[in-house]
Amino acid sequence: MLGLLQGFAAGLMLSISFLDLAHNAMNSIGFLKGNLWFFAGVLFFAFIVKFIPEPDFSPQADPSEKKADDGGTGKDMMRKHRRQVLFSGIITAVGISLHNFPEGMAVFLGSVKGLHVGLNLAFAIALHNIPEGVAVALPIYFATRSKWQAFYMAAGSGLAEPAGVIVVAYLFPSSLNPDILEGLLGSVGGVMAFLTLHEMLPLAFDYCGQKQAVKAVFVGMACMSARFVDSSN
C-alpha cells in the first residue's frame, strides 16, 4: 500500500510539475525563460540533496527469512529501512513546502485580481494539497509509528502556503513582478520533478514492484489531469 500510494502521489506531482507549473511558466514568460527557471529549480534541489546522506533503496528481503538466517539482522534491516522512509518523508516535506510557498503568493495575487479568481484558485490548490499531505504523512507514520509526528510534519509543510501569503502581502504589497512569480512557480516545478524521480519513484518501485508502481503513477496523473480539465471548464 505504501508503494502504491507513493506511486499515485508521484503521478500527481509529475502532472503538477510539467502540466501546470512549468507549462504556465513557459506560456507566461516564454519558452526559454520558463525552461531556465525550471532547470534552476532542478539544480537547486539537486544541490540540497547532494549534501544530505542518501538512503539505499535496495530491495527489501523478507524479515522472517533474515531472522532465520542470522538471528537479529532482519530487525536491523527493518530499522534501516524505516530510516530510509523517514528520510524520504522529510525530503518530500521540504519539496512540498517549497511548492506551497509560491502557491500562497499565487492565491494572494489572484485575490487581488478578484475575489472570485482567488477563491477558485485556493479551492483548486486545496484539492491537490490533500494527496500532498498524504505523501508527507504516510512515510513519516510508517517510519515513526506516530500519528502526531506525521500530522505535525504534514501540517508544517502546509503552513508554507499561508507563509507565502504573509510574505507577499507585507513585504511585497505592490512590487512583486508577475513574471518573477511565474518563474518561481516554474522553479518549483523543477524541484517537484527532481523530488519525484529521485525519491518517490524509487521508493514505490521498492515496495510494490515496477509494474504496480508505474500503474499507480499513471492513475495519479489521470486524476490530476481530470482536475485540470475540470478547472479549465
Which of 61-65, 145-149, 206-210 comes out lowest in average pLDDT? 61-65
Task: Give the residue from 122, 77, 75, 74 showing the smallest Cα distance to 100.
Answer: 122
Residue type, 154: A
pLDDT surpassing 90 at residue 171: no
pLDDT at 39: 96
Q: For 38-158, where are the E strands, in sequence order?
A: none
Q: What is the DSSP string of 69-102?
A: HHSSHHHHHHHHHHHHHHHHHHHHHHHHHHHHHH
Enter the pTM of the model.
0.59
What value does the mean pLDDT take over residues 103-109?
Answer: 73
Residue type, 195: L
**pLDDT tens digits along 194-230:** 878 887 788 788 888 889 999 999 998 888 777 666 5
What does pLDDT average to over the chain?
76
The one-character DSSP state at 32 is H
Domain borders along the chain are: 1-52+92-231
Supply 106's cell numbers.
499565487
**Three-state DSSP class for 135?**
helix
- Residue 28's alpha-carbon distances to 20, 22, 32, 86, 182, in angstroms, are 12, 10, 11, 37, 7
